[in-house]
Structures are given as C-alpha cells and as structure tokens.
Amino acid sequence: MNRKRWIALVIAIVLFIFSIGFQAITTVLATDFEELFNLNASEFEQDILEEGSALNKIAVIRLDGIIQDTSTNAWNTSLYNHDRFLNMIEDAGEDSTVDGIILRVNTPGGGVVESAEIHDKVEEVQEEYNKPVYVSMGNTAASGGYYIAAPADKIIAHPATLTGSIGVIMESINFAELADQLGVDFNTIKSGEFKDIMSASREMTEEERTILQTMIDDLYGDFVQVIVDGREMTEERVRELGDGRVYTGSQAHELGLVDELGTLDDTIAMMKEDYDLNDAQVVEYKSGLGFEQFLGMTLSSNFGSQSELDGIVHLLRQSNAPRAMYLYSE
C-alpha cells in the first residue's frame, strides 16, 4: 500500500471516530434528563413542622417568588419552579394520609397562564380528592398571588400582607425618539400590519392600542370571574375593588377579600379546628436534592453567588416580546 493510501486510510479512521463521538454527544444532549433522573418524582421529602399522627397529615406547600415557568432551568436552585409546585399540589391531593393542604403564598404574581394553571389545580384537588385547601399569605400575595388564592376554602392574611392588585398589565419600552436623536434607523420587514405590534422602535397606533386593550379587558374579565366564583361576590363589587390597587391584609379582611387575619401557625390551628385534625402531623413539602438541583448548585459555586447567578439567568430568560401579566410591581 503506497503512502497516499495510508494517509487516506488514516483520515477515514479519524473521520469515523469523530463521527461516532459526535453521535454520542448528540445522543447525550437529546436525552430526556428529566425522565432519566426522575426529576418530577411523584413523592417529595416531608419535613415535620408539628408532631402528630402520620395517618392524618396537613401538608404545607410554599410558593415563593414570581409565578413563571422556569422549570427547565438547570441553574434554578431557589427560585419558583412551576412544574414542581403543581406536582406537589397533585401529590398532596393523591396522598391518602393528607387530609388538608395549606398553600403558603409569598408572591407579587406573575404569568397569566401559570396563575391559571395553579388555580385550576387547586380546584381539581378540592373536587377530585375532596380535600380542603387553605391559603396563608406571607409578605405579598398580590395579583396572580390573589388569583390562585381565590378558590381556597379559607384565605388567611397577616395584617401587614400586601394583597389585591387585581388586574392585568402589559408593558413595553419605546425608544423611537432616542433612536431618532442618535441617528439610528430600523428596518422592519413584516407579513402583516400588526406583526410588530408594541414595537420598541416606533410609536403605537390607536388601532394597535385598541387591539391590546381588548385583550387585557378579556383577561381582566377572567380574573374578575375567578373571584366572583371563589369568593361568592358580585361582579360589580369585584370590579369596584379590582382597580389595580394593593390592600393591606387588614384592609382586605374588612373588604371581604380574605377570611381571617393571622400567621401560618394560626392557619394551621384553624384547619385543625375546622376539620377536627387536632392530632394531625403537619409536614412541609420539600423537593429534595435531585440531579437538577445538584447541577444548579455546582454551577453556582463555579460562577458566583446565587443572587448574582439568578440575576444573570433572569436577564438571559427575558424576551423582547411583551406579555400580559397578573403582576404587582412597585
């Protein structure tokens, strides 16, 4: 075999090995790690908050942070995880040893769809498993936080809780005038008149504003109906209270938006008394340290503090497209 053939053979072997390696890497990247490592297991760790009968439990499930779907973010070790939270509610509903569920809500709200999914899951647990769901409000339970609380059998807020903020918001930034001063031009090629609606590079037209306002009004109507059904209030009264303002827990109690004032401990005591669960064990659902959380902690240790990492991730996840939110922002 001459020298050229040897060279050709070596090149072929190298390409073959490279091909195998590339396929292996592709397979790894395409692997469903959530299924492989069982990240959404149906059972969660349970920390005992109060001793009692393990056959009659009260499950406490915490919602902290903005309600948005960050479930696929491997760096997310402490922020709200939407899929995990829904699975916790479902797990508590299916668990025959759990007689009642308390959602500890501390959120300014968030996505319209995510809030609706939690609301529907609460109603599902109440109807399918016939279990009471109480909401204990923390520092803030506003907008989407109140949306998910509306169907609860009882809502308890601290006197200083910020709640309410009933409404929908959609925002964008317009820098057309600044761009004009800087001599920046934008070239937009679009398939339809409204394809670049809420564009940051030009003024909004009245027709576009009407379209978006109609969308917001429809979503607001859904919000109002959730409260009408959950709190048994008239639509007129809900719309009167739902002008977007926030209320303290004490004000919300006077207005009928919450049932009682108290802490999480008070909420636990109320559920025990209301449903004769004085001997119940009180547990708090924890997600445990799965592969996803382990990876996130590893990345955090290599790339800085969690707060810095969360900020980076938040910026990376932001979309240029505005979205309707059930969100209270100061």
Question: Which residues belong to the active site?
Answer: 143, 195
288 Rama class: left (phi>0) / alpha (psi -120 to 50) / beta: left
First to last CA, the chain: 78
Provide the β-strand partners of residue 61. Answer: 103
| Lookup result for tokens 């709640």 | 163
> Which candidate, 166, 174, 261, 257, places its Cα nearest to that of 209?
174
Measured CA distances, 119 to 67, 70, 134, 228, 320 (Å):
12, 18, 13, 14, 27
Alpha-helical (H) ranges within the chain are 3-30, 33-36, 82-94, 112-128, 144-149, 176-182, 206-231, 235-241, 249-255, 264-274, 291-303, 306-317
Overall residue count recorded for the chain in this entry: 330
- Written as one letter, the residue type at 122 is V
Provide the β-strand partners of residue 50. Answer: 282
